[in-house]
Amino acid sequence: MKRTVTHLADGRELIYFDERDDASRDAVDQRELPPPPAASEMRHDPILDEWVAIAAHRQSRTYHPPSDQCPLCPSTPEWQSEIPSSEYDVVVFENRFPSFSHRVGPEQGDILPGLVPTRPGAGRCEVVCFTSDHNASFASLSPARVRTVLEAWADRTADLSTRDDVEQVFCFENRGTEIGVTLPHPHGQIYAYPFVTPRTRRMLASARAHEGGGNLFADVLAAERADGERVVAQNAHWTAFVPAVARWPFEVHLYPHRQVPDIPALGAEERAAFGGLYLEVLRRLDGMFGLQMPYIAAWHQAPVRVDRHLAYLHLQLFSTRRAPGKLKHLAGSESGMGVFVNDVRPEQAAAMLREVQL
């Protein structure tokens, strides 16, 4: 894989990950762009012990552009996009409308002094383009391309983890307008947070309480593999299963069989084995109702500096669709109290996924 670093017209970094060593990446961004926005503002909620990012500049981000003005397609003589080259394999670049950024402006005074501290929203947000094909999807990628994407995730996780203003790196993909996607081009994002996220803190607290009995994540994986009823697919290095406590109608977790803290820690065989299994799961998901399923794919990685021995890298994939023409909405119980009510038994969901003809 060839890695080429360049910069866009406003100074944002762009990195090409090419599958060919002879790829030429000398195209220059010719656009006239305003300077990138300053970092957002973070406010700490004393009641929930969580940070909230206030990023008002994101109101002006690109929203459902015509397909011939997609900012993630390769540039053409008629349209200059975020990618100057006329073609590419995988590209990562700094988000033009970031929730977190290293471009920190002047500090603001605290909101409700003594109760609501305020900090700059330091960190970084990046966009990952999986392919130059506007009409593709992750499920249509080749295993070789999935390996390139995985290498890009590993590269970016390792690089962002060296930053003083980053405490956790989150790689994810949102797919489908039902999820809220505003750019249909196949892509994901990376958030480098300046704090450990609430979800991760809660999981690691559970793992810490279980520590005397072994690693909690490893024990759950072993139990699911031994039971087998909710296993959707597996190979020598990975298992994909519907968790017994699935919150979403169709939710699959992918675990490597070896405990590692993050994507860079995966070995060569584990990286090679991931693509085929993940593509199978995505195609089973799409084959469920004969249409592209909306989903969120979220990599759970260890924090950069704390509790890395407790963490266990895994991918959580879930869809908001519960049946053809019906979506799972986070209504009163889920949104108000954080208590999920699932309309589909996890065992039934796993069986439906296994029965899809590929």
d(CA 285, CA 315): 15
What is the number of alpha carbons within 13 Å of residue 91 lying toward its C-beta? 29
- List residues bridging with 191 in a β-sheet: 125, 170
> Is 70 labeled as ligand-binding?
yes
Please check if 102 is assigned to a binding site.
Answer: no
What letter does residue 310 receive in the DSSP assignment?
A: T
Taking each helix axis as running N to C, give the angle between helix 346-355 and helix 268-287, from 0 to 180 degrees, rounded to the nearest 10. Answer: 90
> What are the helix (H) ranges across 82-215?
143-160, 198-210
Distance, in Å, from the CA atom of 230 to the CA atom of 252, rounded to the nearest integer, reads 9
Which 3 state secondary structure label does DSSP give 139?
A: helix
Task: Name beta bridge partners: 207.
Answer: none
Number of continuous H segments (helices) and E segments (strands) in the chain: 5, 16
- Catalytic residue, chosen from 7, 57, 64, 187, is 187
Q: Where are the beta strands (DSSP E) in 86-162?
A: 90-94, 118-121, 124-129
Phi, psi of 271 (to 5 degrees): -65, -40
Backbone torsion region of residue 151, taken as left when φ is above 0, otherwise alpha when ψ lies between -120 and 50, otherwise beta:
alpha
Whether 187 is catalytic is yes
What does the chain come to in residues? 358
d(CA 9, CA 58) in angstroms, rounded, equals 20
Q: What share of the chain is helix, strand, coil (3-state, %, to 5)?
A: 25, 25, 50
Q: H-type helices in the chain, by residue range?
A: 143-160, 198-210, 216-227, 268-287, 346-355
> Do residues 255 and 269 touch, judged by C-beta distance below 8 A?
no
CA angle 217, 301, 180 (to 5 degrees): 110
List residues forming the annotated binding site for Zn(2+): 70, 73, 134, 185
Catalytic residue numbers read 187
List residues forming the annotated binding site: 70, 73, 134, 185
